[in-house]
Amino acid sequence: MAKVIRSIDWETFDKLRGSEKRAYFTRGGNIFHIIMSQQFDRKFLDEICALATKIRGISKGNKGVTFLQSLLQGKRAMLYFVQPSTRTFLSFMAACQILGIHCSEVRDTSTSSEMKGESQEDTVRTFSSYVDLIVMRHYQAGFAERIAFLLNQTSRPVPVINAGSGKDQHPTQALLDIYTLHRSFENYGGIDGKRIAFVGDLKRGRTVRSLVYLLRNYEGVKLYFVTPQELQMGEDLKEYLREQKVRFEETSSFEEVVPYVDAVYMTRIQDEYDKAGESKRIAYSAYHFKKEYLKILPPNAIIMHPLPRREEIPVEIDDDKRAMYWRQVRNGMWIRVTLIATLFRKDKDIKEY
């Protein structure tokens, strides 16, 4: 399967469904590129959650820190981030440092040969020659995927991690969100059967899209999409959920769902994708988590946010024990360590430590 698919052209590949592309992002049966959430199954999700917890434990002692740093010593990563980002960038950089990987960075292409008319594909391919891993954030949906496809045709492919691709996907954020849900519900039956509300700009929020794709791996979950009319979840994803038999409901009334959910996933309005300032005309304050909601939110429910936040969550809420967004940030670093270690087949060494 993997062999056949490797010989196809980009146009044919591009039209395949996520699940059909899965084999293309693996090598010898192991995950090689991290591009889209559809490539992950339940077994993988359970394994990385367990491994992340193990790594966190190992990192608590000096000996453990040295062990982790020795795992990928001498490897080099390129952080190619041409769309604004500081937190995800730093999270990946910290994750690389924990594993002993050296990082180089490209953040601004105005000083590169792209200015001389070189294609972005050629630029990335050139840079790939100097490194063992590419972590990529790009404003264009599908760009990281295209680079992974392109590198697969070369004699020296290196793994590509999608760290955010336009309005489309942000799979590592979704994996850290899964890890946060997993840890929060560890003593409450796990993620299976949980009711999760996604609130705000679901039309352009890539973190929600990637997380929703992952949630099809859990039994009996129920999703609520709480949005203004203008920012509803894309039809493609709703169609996917219908096919996968994942239950979901759409509503514009936030307050009504708060008492019935196990998790609330807040998002900011993604106005950087506006064409003509249309976000300003949307009454977004109805999609803010009001302080009063703390009284009606169930005691074991959690509040999540990928950050950065604006007014969606007032700072007073940070002290509530159900607020998980600062933990998400920390979990993100550990999940990225776990993913990178797994791509380089170091999972076994870690399990045996």
Question: Considering beta carbons, is residue 71 or 138 the nearer one to ligand NCD?
Answer: 138
Q: Is 236 exposed, middle or buried (0-12, 13-18, 19+ CB in 10 A)?
A: exposed
User: 6, 17, 63, 87: which one contacts ligand NCD (CB under 6 A)?
Assistant: 87
Active site residue 33: no
Tokens of 60: 């608590």
170: contact with ligand NCD by CB under 6 A: yes
Three-class DSSP category at 138: strand
Three-class DSSP category at 136: strand
Residue 157, preceding peptide bond in cis (omega within 30° of 0): no
Of residues 29-68, those binding ligand NCD (CB under 6 A): none
User: 93, 306, 342, 350: which one contacts ligand NCD (CB under 6 A)?
Assistant: 306
Q: Taking the CA atoms of 198, 137, 338 and 344 in sequence, report the sign of the dihedral they define.
A: positive
What's the CA gap between 197 and 225, in Å, rounded? Answer: 6
What's the CA gap between 212 and 14, in Å, rounded? Answer: 21
What's the CA gap between 350 and 341, in Å, rounded? Answer: 9
User: 165, 169, 207, 210: which one contacts ligand NCD (CB under 6 A)?
Assistant: 207
Active site residue 116: yes
Shortest distance in whole angstroms from residue 234 CB to ligand NCD:
15
Active site residue 137: yes
| Catalytic choice (21, 88, 167, 336) | 88
169: contact with ligand NCD by CB under 6 A: no
Shortest distance in whole angstroms from residue 88 CB to ligand NCD:
4
Active site residue 88: yes
User: 138, 206, 288, 336: which one contacts ligand NCD (CB under 6 A)?
Assistant: 206
User: 38, 162, 173, 217: which one contacts ligand NCD (CB under 6 A)?
Assistant: 173
| Catalytic choice (170, 204, 216, 268) | 170
C-beta separation of 289 from 313 below 8 A: yes
Residue count at the site for ligand NCD (CB under 6 A)? 10
- Beta-bridge partners for 80: 106, 136
Strands 133-138 and 76-81: parallel
Print the binding letters for residues 221-260 with ligand NCD: x by CB under 6 A, - otherwise. Answer: ----------------------------------------
88: contact with ligand NCD by CB under 6 A: yes
| Catalytic choice (63, 87, 247, 348) | 87
- Best CA proximity match to 200, nearest among 191, 209, 192: 209
CA distances from 178 to 103, 215, 216, 338 (A): 26, 8, 12, 13
Site of tokens 């942000």: 170
164: contact with ligand NCD by CB under 6 A: yes
Shortest distance in whole angstroms from residue 272 CB to ligand NCD:
8
Which residues of this protein are in contact with ligand NCD, per CB under 6 A? 87-88, 164, 170, 173, 206-207, 268, 306-307
- Active-site positions read 87-88, 116, 137, 170
